[in-house]
Amino acid sequence: MRKIIVSEFITLDGVMEAPGGNETPHPHGGWQFKYSSPEAGKYKIDELASVDALLLGKNTYEMFAAYWPGQVGPEFADPINRMPKYVVSSSLQKVEWNNSHILRDVAKDVAALKQTDGDDILVYGSATLVKALLHHDLIDELRLMMFPTSIGGGLRLFDDNRELKKFELKHSRATDNGVLILEYQPIS
Domain limits, the chain = 4-181
Predicted confidence at residue 19, as pLDDT, reads 67
CB 105 within 8 A of CB 112: no
Predicted confidence at residue 159, as pLDDT, reads 80
CB 146 within 8 A of CB 178: no
Predicted confidence at residue 174, as pLDDT, reads 96
Predicted confidence at residue 27, as pLDDT, reads 85
Report the amino acid identity of residue 90: S
Give mean pLDDT in consecutive 10-residue pieces for the chain, a chain of 188 residues.
96 82 78 90 96 96 95 96 97 95 97 97 95 96 96 85 92 96 95
Reported as type and span, the H/E element at residue 80 is helix 77-82
Question: How far, in Å, CA of 120 to CA of 183, rounded?
Answer: 15
Fold of 4-181: Dihydrofolate Reductase, subunit A (3.40.430)
DSSP string, 61-74: HHHHHHHGGG---T
Question: How far, in Å, CA of 178 to CA of 173, rounded?
Answer: 10
SS3 content of the chain, % helix, strand, coil (to 5): 30, 30, 45
